[in-house]
Structure 1
Amino acid sequence: MASLNEQLSTLVENYTACDVSDALLKLQKVPEGSAPRAGYLADLTPFSPQVGRNDTARKVAAPATTFKFLPKSASPPSIATENPEKHGFPPGKHWVDYAGDFAAEDPSKAGSIIVIEQPGDQYCAVTGGIMATRMKVLGIKAAVVGGRVRDLRELQATELPIWARATSTVGTGAEAKAGVRNVPISIGGVTVDAGDIVFCDPMEGVVVIPRDLLGPVLELMPKLISMDDQAKEAVEQGMTVTDAFKKFR
C-alpha cells in the first residue's frame, strides 16, 4: 500500500483540482437538498509566489492544519479554553507559532498546509509578511486563507504558496483574533478538518479531500479522465457532446 507521501506525489504530478472534484462528485455524499461542493474552496486566488492563476507555479498537497479566527471581542469556544495546549492559544505565544505542531505530531511526516477561516464581514488581514516568514521557517508547505492577507511583496519574498479571498492594508488586531485551532472549519461552505488533504493547483484552484477518501479519489480519477479523453476525441471528430457523454460517460 502506498504511503501518504507517495499518494501526495501521485496527486500533484498527475492530476488537477478539476480531476479531484470530478472524483469527489462521485464519492462524496451530501445532505439531501444541498449543492455538492466537491471539495472546491471557492473564490480564492494565489497571492504568492505570484498574483493570479498561472501554469508556472508548482502544485502542492499536504494535510491541513486548521485555524479559526473570531471577532476581536468574541470569547473563544469552550474547546479552546478547556484544552488550550491542543486547541487554544495559551498566553505568551502568537498563533502562528503553533503552525507546525500538527505536522510535527502527524506520523505520516507529510508536512502541512495552513488553512484559516476568517469571519466573512471582516476587512483586516489575518496573514502578513511576518506570519508567512514564520510559516516558512516552520516548514509549512502553503497557506490557504478564507479571508484577507497583506504585505504582498513580503509574502512573495518567502516563495510560500499563499491563497486568499482578498487583500487588506489593515493588520489583524483591528478586528480579528485567533480563536481556536485543529478543529473543523468552513471555507466557502466546505468543511476542512485537521488532517484533510489540501491540494493547491495554481491554475485550477484549491480543493480539499477528506483524508479517508484520498485513496478512493486516486483510484477513480484515471477512469474518469479516460472517459473524458474518449469523449473529447469523439467530439473532435464531429460527435455531439450529448452523444459523446452518452457513449463514454
Structure 2
Amino acid sequence: MATLNEQLETLIKEYSPCDVSDALIKLQKTPEGSTARAGYLADLVPFSPVTGRNETTPKIAAPATTFKFIPKSSSPPPLATENPEKHGFQPGKHWVDHVGSYAASDPSGAGSIVVIEQPEGQYCAVTGGIMATRMKALGIKATVVGGRVRDLRELQATGLPIWAQATSTVGTNAEAKAGARDVPISIGGVTVSPGDIIFCDPLEGVVAIPRELLGQVLELMPKLIAMDDQAKEAVAQGMSVTDAFKKFRS
C-alpha cells in the first residue's frame, strides 16, 4: 500500500482539484435538502508568493491543521476550555506558535497546511506578516484562510503559499481572536477536520479531501478521467454532448 507521502505526490503530479471534486461527488453522501460541495473551498485566491490565479507556482497537498477564529467578545468553544493542551492555547503563547503541533504528532511526516475559519461578516485580517513569518519558520507548507489577510508585501516576502478570500488593512484584534485549534471548521459550507488533505492548485482552486476517502479518490479519478477523455474525443468528432454523456458517463 502506498504511503501518505506517495499518495500526495501522485495527487499533485497527476490530478487537479476538478478531478477531486468529480470523485467526491460520487463518493460523498450529501444530506437531503443540501447542496453537494465536493470538497471545494469556495472563493479562495492566492495572495502569496504571487497574487492571483497562475500557472507559475506549484501545486501543494498536505494534511490540515485547523484554527477556528471567533468574535472578539465571544467565549472559546467548550473543546478549547475542556482540553486546552490539545484544542486551546497555552497561557503566554500566541496562537501561531501552535501551528506546528499537528505535524509534529502526525507519524506520516507529510507536514501540514494551516486552515483558518474566520467568522463571516468580519473585515479584519486573521493572518499578517508576522504570523506568516512564524508559520514559515515552523515549516508550514501553506496557509488557507477562510477570511481576510493583510501585509501582502510581507506575506509575499516569506514565500509561503497563502490563499484567502479577501484582504484587509485592519489587524485581528479589532474584531477576532483565535478560539480553538485542531477542531473541525467550516469554509464555504465544507467541513475541514484536522488531518484532512488540502490540495491547493494555483490555477484551479483549493479542495479538501476527507483523510479516510483519499485512497478511494485516487482509485476513482483515473476511471472518471478516462470517461471524460472518451467523451471529449467523441464531441470533437461531431457527437453531441448529450449523446457523449449518455454513452460514456452513464
TM-score calculated relative to the size of structure 2:
0.99
CA distance in 2, matches of 1:208, 1:97: 24
| Corresponding letter in the other structure for 1:11 | L
Q: Which amino acid aligns with 1:33?
A: G
Aligned to 2:127: 127
CA offset at residue 90 of structure 1? Answer: 1.9
Aligned to 1:232: 232
Q: What's 1:76 paired with?
A: 76
C-alpha distance after superposition, 1:134-187 (max 9, x if no partner): 111111000000000000011111111100010000000111100000000000
3-state SS of paired residue (1:166): strand
Give me the whole-angstrom Cα distance separating, in 1, the residues matched to 2:33 and 2:77: 30
Describe the SS at the equivalent of 2:233. Answer: helix
Unaligned runs of 5+ in 2: none
- Cα distance in 1 for partners of 2:106, 2:241 equals 45
Equivalent position of 2:2 in the other structure: 2
CA distance in structure 1 between the partners assigned to 2:127 and 2:242 by the alignment: 46
Q: For residue 217 of structure 2, give the secondary structure of its aligned residue in structure 1.
A: helix
Could you tell me which residue of structure 1 aligns to residue 64 of structure 2?
64
Equivalence for 1:94: 94
How far off is 1:81 after superposition? 1.0
What percent of counterpart residues are identical? Answer: 80
In the other structure, the counterpart of 2:219 is 219
Offset, 1:79: 1.1
Q: Structure 1 residue 55 and structure 2 residue 58: aligned?
A: no
Instruction: Number of aligned residue pairs: give it.
Output: 249
Post-superposition shift, 1:78?
Answer: 1.4
Long gaps (5+) in structure 1:
none
Q: Residue in 2 aligned with 1:151?
A: 151
Which residue of structure 2 lines up, in the alignment, with residue 202 of structure 1? 202
Q: C-alpha distance in 2, partners of 1:143/1:191?
A: 16
Instruction: Give the secondary-structure state (helix, strand or coil) at the position aligned to 2:116.
Output: strand
C-alpha distance in structure 1 between counterparts of 2:237 and 2:60, whole Å: 36
Superposition RMSD in Å: 0.6
1:41 matches 2:38: no
C-alpha distance in structure 2 between counterparts of 1:156 and 1:19, whole Å: 29
Mapped to 2, the partners of 1:184 and 1:247 lie a distance apart of: 40
Query: Equivalent residue of 1:29, what SS?
Result: coil
The residue type equivalent to 1:132 in the other structure is A
- State the distance in 1 between where 2:210 and 2:234 align: 34
**SS of equivalent to 2:180:** strand
**Residue in structure 2 matched with residue 180 of structure 1 by the alignment:** 180
Q: TM-score, normalised by structure 1?
A: 0.99
Structure 1 Cα separation of the partners of residues 129 and 233 of structure 2: 47
Amino acid at match of 2:106: D
User: Per-residue deviation at 1:102?
Assistant: 0.2
Q: Distance in 2 between matches of 1:99 and 1:90?
A: 13
